Amino acid sequence: MKEKKKGKKNTKLMGDGLPRMLSGDGFYEQVVKFTEWQQQQVEEAGRKADARTAWKEAVKEWEAKNAEIDAAKEELKTEVAAWTKMKNAARAKKTRFSIPKPQRDIEKKAPKPTLKSFIAAAKKSLEQENVHGDDEAELSDGESDRESDEDDEDDD
């Protein structure tokens, strides 16, 4: 059993080994950017895991739907085989055979859902949440400004 090796986590801020002033503004900004980057990586891994579980459920549903379609096709084949047998028997007796051939509208199989599409959808929904979140923040700021303006007018 081979297990996947975990990759190294990039935790070194300064990889060149040279001394740095750790209280300097440049280093502090680099630390802030690095912690934000780490947080983004953790969030992205969580989104991918959620997308993977949703994808697995969608694949199970897809397989169940395809199994239903396959069963319907097999049932139709058996009905057509029975109809053909009855038709041949009628021909052998030289009688008129007026039963129509069984037909059904069997829906086509849908394409298998891909993990890539689920990850892209999760990313798109996150971007939409960020856009809507920014709009709501701007609205709430605008409302508070109006309220403070009204309060200022009342004081006069």
- Boundaries of every domain in the chain: 24-127
On the CB side of 93, how many CA atoms lie within 13 Å of its CA? 8
What's the confidence (pLDDT) of residue 6? 66
Record the pTM.
0.59
Q: Quick one: residue 76, left, alpha or beta (phi over 0 = left, psi -120 to 50 = alpha)?
A: alpha
Q: Taking a C-beta distance cutoff of 8 angstroms, is the pair 101, 25 a contact? A: no
Q: Taking a C-beta distance cutoff of 8 angstroms, is the pair 90, 96 a contact? A: yes
What's the confidence (pLDDT) of residue 142? 52
In degrees and rounded to multiples of 5, residue 35 shows phi and psi of -65, -35
Residue 28 burial (C-beta neighbours within 10 Å; 0-12, 13-18, 19+): exposed
What's the confidence (pLDDT) of residue 64? 95
For the chain, 156 residues long, the average pLDDT of each consecutive 10-residue run is 62 69 81 90 89 92 94 94 94 90 87 87 80 60 50 50
CA 58 to chain centre: 9
What's the confidence (pLDDT) of residue 104? 85
